[in-house]
Amino acid sequence: MEFAIVIGIGERAETVDCHDFAKAALSRVSSTALNLALQRRSSVAGRLATELYIARQALGSIDSSKLQRRVPKLLSDLERICAWPKSSQNMAMIHALVNNRDQKVEIRVQRGILCFANSSQNVIDQYFHKLARFSKEALDEDDIRGATDKAESTVTTDEYPVHVNTELYTILKSHSLCTCIPGHAYSHARHHARLRLLDGISKVDESVAFDMLFSESPTTCHHWQDLQLRVPLRKKAAKAVKFDTKDSCQSAFSSPRKSDKKIKADKTMAVVKPDEFCNLVKARLGSRICCHIQDSELHRLYRGFPLVQKVDSGESLSLRHLLRIGRLSNRMKLILAYIVARSFWQYYDSPWMDSPWTSDSVHFLRELPSEEETYSRGALYASKPYLAVEFKELNGDFFEYCNAPSVIFPYPRLLSLCIILLEIGRGQSLPIKNSGSLVADLNERWHLAKQVTDANKSQNEFDYPHYRKAIVRCLNNSSWEQNSESIEEDVFTRKSVIHNVIVRPLEKLLGDLGFSENLHVMTPVDEVGGPSTVPDVPAPPPMPTISSDVDQSDRWLHKMKIINQCFQRKESSTFTQAPRIAILDTGYDSGSNFFSLAGRSRRVKGWKDFVESQEDPIDEEGHGTHTIATAMKAAPFASIYVARIAKDRGGLKNAHQAIVKAIDWAANDARVDIVSMSFGFKNEDPSITDALRKALYDRHGNLIFFAAASNSGANGGEMFPANLDDVFSVRETDALGAFSDTNPPVDPDAPVVFGTLGRQVPSAWLSNVDGEVAKSGSSVATAVAAGIGALLMTITDIGVANHCLTVADSSKMRTKRGMYQVLKRMSRDMGNRCRYICPEEILVDGDAKKTWTAIADAFARS
């Protein structure tokens, strides 16, 4: 053995070759961390798996004589991670893991990695910095056998004919023009388009398949339609002249190709005209729509396909934004850079280059969380970038070639690609300025890119020599100067050079590091920055037909969404049970557009019809559907249980027995935490009162009721059951906290009363209604309050998992007394004993720890 060390304890101690043991240990722990990352969606575990794998590759690329000083420290640190927060002697933990001597050792190592992931960010960063430095010093330029200098001048990677891009782009340019609002200014706007950037070509039935997303309208991004667009590889020739003879079939198409036969025989397609495209992308059918380009027309396949691009609602995030709020591992950076560079090369001679390629136009969309991800908002994946397509004339600063005098580097597109690659490597965007002069801007950006590239530590821990070399060669004019006779030949030649200078070296680097396989098996981006309410897609001015109240309410609900996202990031790897809400109302319409997203429909966990005993969900009025969707907007992670107690609002007067049964079902069968009752009666019904008290008794007080106060103003008092001491009475406010005149008078001798958003709140309605319907009243506010109650339970549980609150605190939050103290502490005094529950008081100063402190203070008073 050239370099031996003693590992293990007692009888299990043995002398091993340090080099061989280190490679085995790094591989084994990396594999364990990767499995943990996929199971628990731990970004730290995913990053650990990647960095350990890179270190393992580094060990295989250098002479063992260089390791005697560095490897023991590397192994010692690795042992500490596996045993975290404890310490062990002689690397006993990784010794057992490598030799599989203890079946429980992998579980102990996973526990250690999870504990390490929950330690301070400073400790985590310090370890990864040392690990990256080890790999960087090992993987010097001479140790990676790059292929860029030896690359052949011809491109061997799969390509497809030029007409494929041109035909698709031309059709989408005409179809994406919005016709939803004829005669309005928006009729000249386009649906937002996102083109998925891939690491290869997707082919279906002798056609090239493109994955795209289109927003339902130019004004909002509440829904993205998943589209696959197929363009035949072979361009159809002009039709031959037909004659009325027996031989007329012997025309140019007498023997059609197999793909043409299939298309013509397929009677399940229909032409989509430009003015029909709007209806296609806003239908919210819950399926992928596949279209085929034929005879310069867009044909839709009637058959539906399972969703592939399962993205959440909301604006897409630019690469610039992602780099600001997220931390990308080295593996993420390399894969993202390769996909962007390869797509850039693939589309270089196509109209897709008419859209700028910058960190502002490369976008990402959140994916819908799976059912197991109880509190998860949509995750962002670095391996799934999109191009924000602008169907307009060529942008002045994104020409293929700038022939103006005094230009240092006359290739704007290539310069933009270099800047994107630099930004990905650095993990932050470059300060790009616009002076108004194309020549000045090009020269300024070239100097900036050259300065960053030439800096000794330009990539920080991300310092791969061949990555940097590819950018250096790209910025060098000599790489692109050709003696071509035409612009077209220049473009073709440059495309070939792009592959040899940039794409192929990145592909080789991925292979050397073992990243070529399973490019899309990746943990989510670790979001470390605060949530931003500034969208990357410029929002158009509100339409005149939308009232300011609805607009304000929509923004209010968006703030709630941001709060949910913020606390989801704080969630521990420990599993946390989703709070349960029972909605007692007119049922719900599962066919409503709101529930077309699988992530939402799966949140409805239970259904019980106490009116007609219907097994399938039903809502004949719409009030229940509106109420449920409203609660889910405030608490998208909660589990919803629906009890139908009346056909419509008029049927409530005879619904007393149904309400009694529904309360018992919610408390003892569904075992919910919260019961929402968006109704009320002038007089008390003893049977309902008894049912409420029995439910509280059965649940030992761990059940919370919310009910609508009243909409009669001073003409009536507080309704039953909201007037019971065991029930939270909820009043209506607008989005600014002003209490409505329709609320009942406040008893000056009673405890404070609570109000929340209930004015012109947009939410789901029946499936025969396109879009949302705005409703007002204390019944709407009750649904919002129930959702906020569930959110507070979630915040508390996450606080417990993060050791900021106790298990006892979680139990208190599920009682009326505990919830009352928290709501009182986290609401605004509006005078006259009225307190306004609003988003700003829930997320205290944007700091989750302050929120947990406020909750702990409230419980101390209960």
Sign of the Cα pseudo-torsion (520, 145, 426, 412, in order): negative
Parallel, antiparallel, or unpaired: how do β-strands 14-17 and 4-7 relate? antiparallel
- Of the residues 779, 797, 810, 827, only one is catalytic, namely 779
Place of tokens 């007329």: 248
Burial bucket for residue 518 (CB in 10 Å: 0-12, 13-18, 19+)? exposed
| Residue 95: active-site member | no
Give how far Cα 35 sits from Cα of 25, 58, 83, 573, 574, Å: 16, 22, 17, 14, 16
Cis peptide before 182 (omega within 30 of 0): no
Distance from the Cα of residue 732 to its chain's centroid: 33
Burial 701-735 (b: 16+ CB within 10 A, else e): ebbbbbbbbbbbeeeeebbbbbbbeebbbbbbbbb
- Of the residues 585, 673, 734, 809, only one is catalytic, namely 585
- Of the residues 191, 363, 623, 626, only one is catalytic, namely 623
Query: How many helices and strands, by DSSP H and E, does the chain display?
Result: 26, 25
Burial bucket for residue 136 (CB in 10 Å: 0-12, 13-18, 19+)? buried
| Residue 585: active-site member | yes
Contact 16, 5 (CB under 8 A): yes
Type and span of the H or E element at 131: helix 121-138
Burial bucket for residue 72 (CB in 10 Å: 0-12, 13-18, 19+)? middle
Contact 603, 638 (CB under 8 A): yes
Contact 578, 374 (CB under 8 A): yes
Place of tokens 């009910």: 707
The pair of structure tokens assigned to 673 is 């935490």
Distance from the Cα of residue 297 to its chain's centroid: 33
Parallel, antiparallel, or unpaired: how do β-strands 207-215 and 193-196 relate? antiparallel
Q: How far apart are CA 537 and CA 319, in angstroms?
A: 12
Distance from the Cα of residue 27 to its chain's centroid: 30
- Would you list the DSSP string of 30-74? HHHHHHHHHHH--HHHHHHHHHHHHHHHHHTTS-GGG-TTTHHHH
**For 847-859, what is the HEC assignment?**
CHHHHHHHHHHHH
DSSP 3-state assignment of 773? strand
Contact 162, 234 (CB under 8 A): no
Q: 731: which strand partners?
A: 755
**For 314-350, what is the HEC assignment?**
CCCEEHHHHHHHEECCHHHHHHHHHHHHHHHHHCCCC
CA 634-638-644 angle, 5° bins: 90
Parallel, antiparallel, or unpaired: how do β-strands 674-677 and 580-585 relate? parallel
Instruction: Determine the residue type at 336.
Output: L
The CB density around residue 390, as the number of other CB atoms within 10 Å, is 14
Q: How far apart are CA 197 and CA 209, in angstroms?
A: 12
Q: How far apart are CA 570 and CA 563, in angstroms?
A: 11
Burial bucket for residue 492 (CB in 10 Å: 0-12, 13-18, 19+)? middle
Closest CA to 222 of 559, 552, 592, 593: 593
| Residue 623: active-site member | yes
Write out the catalytic residue numbers.
585, 623, 779
